Amino acid sequence: MRPSLLVGLVALASWALAGCQEKYPTTLDGDRLPVSPITVQVTLPFEAFAEGATAWGGYGRPVELSSGVVARSYQGSLDARTLVGWSSYPTSVSVRDSTGTIRPDTSLTFVGGRMVTRIDTITSAWDGPVTLSIGAVQQDWDVRSASWMWSVDSVGNQTAWPEEGAGPVLPLAEAEWDPATGDSVVFQLDSAAVALWTDTVLGKRGIRVDAVTEGVRLNAYDFDLILSVKARSNPDTLVESSVLPRRRTFIYQPVLGQPQGSLWFGSVPAWRTVLELDVPETVDLPPDICAQVSCPVTLTPQALVSASLVLHSEAAPDGFQPTDTLRMDVREVLEPDRMPKSPLGFSLVGTLGVSVPPEYFGEEAGSEVLVPLTNYVEGLLQARNDSTVVISSSLALLSAFEPLSLYLASFGGPGSANPPQLRLLLTLSEGVQIR
Amino acid sequence: MSASSDPRRGAIPRHVRCVPFKGATVLLALLATLPAPRLAEGQSLLGTEGLGFPVEALDARARALGSVGVGLMGTSLLPTDPASASGILFPTAELTLQPHWGEGSLDDRALTARGTRFPLMAIGYPVASVRGVATLTIGSYLDQRWELTRETTVELEGTPTQVTDAFSSDGGVAVVRVGWAQRLGDRVGVAGGLGRYTGSVTRVFTRTFDDLGGVQVPPRYEEGGRWGYGGLTAFLGARWDPAPFLRVSGALDWSSDLDADPTRETEGSPAAYDLPLQLRVGASGELTPDLDMTIGLTWGNWESSGGGLEPETVAGTVWSLGGGLEWVGLTRGFKSFPLRVGYRRSDLPFRFGGEAPTESLVSGGIGLDLFRAENVTLGGFDLAVERGSRKAGSFTEDFWRGTLTVKIAGF
């Protein structure tokens, strides 16, 4: 084939295919649409779509959080203290001896030190500089079960603190945290204090971190014990050596009781709320809609465009006011009879859950939160006529990351001024025909 | 034009020596892999009415000449002129593709449409012992691809909410025909055959809620269905060359009802449509040794059908008249490069906004015989360009349409 012919063929093919980028005739003339569906929104009251709501607590422990909590009379209610137990002290350090050689030395004298912690300035609540104190805990405690009342609270072993709130403690140091200067708090420790924890039993008991200033709630991280060490081979030089916290938890009071007329999720141990749904088979519509369609309207998966659980936020219990965004997860309760230990299904709202800003539980209490449940409600409707669709009518509201924090989310429950609602968006149509 | 000694006249070559066409196998394989003709690409807003927009299964030569597809000199594999295939001497295959670009307005709103379709694939296989040709054609018939959108608001518990409605139709009707064309002497040919309507359409309505506060993903309502088409057709055709410079041809198409049956998942109802009896007549004559003229006419009577087309939808009797000139004076060696011009005016079968639409167009084109063995065209192209307009009440549309036909023979 001659080159000129080939070029011609390519040009011809290009021209012929030039229209391949499809564009359909389109107009904004709605009168020509062959169908005229009616869309209506229906908001069902709680009793019309649910049989009840039950709160379940006790999921997770404070030790599972990534931070400790320190509070004193926060919102006039909450006291929290963080307990930190230390690992063993170092048994040797490397120092330069008189000949200039660096070598390990196991003959150590602990002459002092400091304890450094950092405050999460985003999730903490304060009003000006805060004074914190640390004291040596005098009693063994169990990191998994310690609480305000009990140092150990496990099956077959319940031991109370001599003094509620992990007391008494041997006062060691105080420090002031000024938020304007940074996020670190440094507690200076004398030789007697650091000598205390050379005993591994006492070291394991560790310290209790208290807030001296009232009206604060702080989330504290990174409890680092930095020792000043003098080695025999070079007594003129001080060496610093870090001791990592071996264990950490926090204790608080008051402990939340069963909510009255509220739906809760969050806090630690965490709360979940289980809703028992009973979506009606038909719904009534406003008279103007009923003039166009036959009422009541049967709920079908085809007609359902969206379904949202409507919650209204309310102020959290004193002391448990959120200070950062919460993320609500919604999952099927697969075996409701086994609550609170029923397995849960996959998330119905995505991995990150439904974002709820902290203001909704304070100055913006009463805000509306929509939880998208379209696919779930569609499944409930399908299950009525299709035995192969297996879906639980119990839904659990919980924190997407559980446990996430001490604070919790609270919404109006059944019987409250703002009970949950189910908002359905329906589109009613006679169906698409070929003509 | 296919394998005949003179593409205009259909004369039979006395001594033909075939030269193997190396590209034929490749082209044939390419043809086999192409999708069946889809009336696909949104041809016009007029397609939103009735059964869609009619798309004739014509090749580029017929398009360039403004022809209605019957009575052209030479041979062809046009389903609109089945007797024309009787002159084919070698196995022949044709593929036609057709890009188009349109711009129009409805009530002063601008509209655009563009796309490419494959309106015709055809194969003819001569059986020399009986002087006949078996034909298989797959041709377009109705284009049903279009989409309408509307932005409006709905009241949701007293709150106006913006929604976007869209209705899309995607599909069309094609016709698969098998036939036999028989030469009766050198001047007469007759043809007949059967065919089946095929294709489907998917119709979907969607309503998207653009502004629902608090909902992360805007919800969307969707309903629709898919219908498959079926029906039978039979055709007869004849050509007569009363003189070496004159040809007269005619064809008659009969169709059963076109049935549209919903798929199992579709809740919509079935429908049946009366398809019209269609008559085509055409003639071509030699004005000078290098210049031919052709003219043709089609007639069809579209009627309403219960459960299908409403009486106010169909335009009733529709005519189409077209013709053109073909000049074959441009040659190079044994190859010819015929130049063509034409004009055509057609009624369209489905009313738009209560008005009967019409289409008129002027056309031009050229033939390119790329492979010839002695006097026989074994491979080539025909190219046509049309400039047309359509009108129905407040709707007007101007369009460009190109048509390219690829032909191979002797494979």
Query: B279-321, pLDDT tens digit by residue?
Result: 999 999 999 999 999 999 999 999 888 767 888 889 899 999 9
| B170 strand-pairing partners | B202
A385 interfacial to chain B (CB closer than 8 Å): no
How far apart CA B177 and CA B138 sit, in angstroms, is 6
| A406 strand-pairing partners | none
How far apart CA B328 and CA B322 sit, in angstroms, is 20
What global pTM score does this model have? 0.75
> Among partner residues B97, B109, B168, which is closest to A16 by beta-carbon distance?
B97
How far apart CA A43 and CA A306 sit, in angstroms, is 12
| Lowest mean pLDDT, pick from A30-39, A89-98, A231-240, A363-372 | A30-39
Query: What is the pLDDT confidence band of residue B186, given thresholds at 50, 70 and 90?
Result: confident
Per-residue confidence (pLDDT) for residue A347, from 0 to 100: 96
Q: Of B14 and A150, which is predicted with more confidence?
A: A150
* Residue whose entry in the numeric block shows the structure tokens 């490069």: B337
| A371 strand-pairing partners | A309
Residue A17: list chain B partners with CB under 8 A: 97, 99, 116
Residue B209: list chain A partners with CB under 8 A: 39, 305-306, 425
> Among partner residues B148, B154, B223, which is closest to A27 by beta-carbon distance?
B148
Per-residue confidence (pLDDT) for residue A78, from 0 to 100: 97
Per-residue confidence (pLDDT) for residue A6, from 0 to 100: 60
Does residue A402 surpass a pLDDT of 60? yes
Query: What is the pLDDT confidence band of residue A5, given thresholds at 50, 70 and 90?
Result: low
What tokens were used for A138? 């005098």
How far apart CA B325 and CA B65 sit, in angstroms, is 6
Q: pLDDT of A258-294, one tens digit each?
A: 999 999 999 999 999 999 999 999 999 888 888 888 8
Does residue A190 surpass a pLDDT of 50? yes
| Lowest mean pLDDT, pick from A371-385, B99-113, B222-236 | B99-113
CB atoms within 10 A of CB A179: 15
Q: Of B110 and A78, which is predicted with more confidence?
A: A78
Per-residue confidence (pLDDT) for residue A33, from 0 to 100: 81
> Among partner residues B111, B223, B269, which is closest to A429 by beta-carbon distance?
B223
- Pairing state of beta strands A234-243 and A68-74? unpaired
Query: What is the pLDDT confidence band of residue B375, given thresholds at 50, 70 and 90?
Result: low
How far apart CA B82 and CA B181 sit, in angstroms, is 7
Per-residue confidence (pLDDT) for residue B175, from 0 to 100: 97
Per-residue confidence (pLDDT) for residue B117, from 0 to 100: 86
* Alpha carbon B45 to chain centroid, angstroms: 17
Asked if residues A61 and A406 have their Cβ atoms less than 8 Å apart, the reply is no
Residue B145: list chain A partners with CB under 8 A: 24
Does residue B220 surpass a pLDDT of 90? no
Q: pLDDT of B134-157, one tens digit each?
A: 999 999 999 998 888 888 888 887
How far apart CA B108 and CA A369 sit, in angstroms, is 45
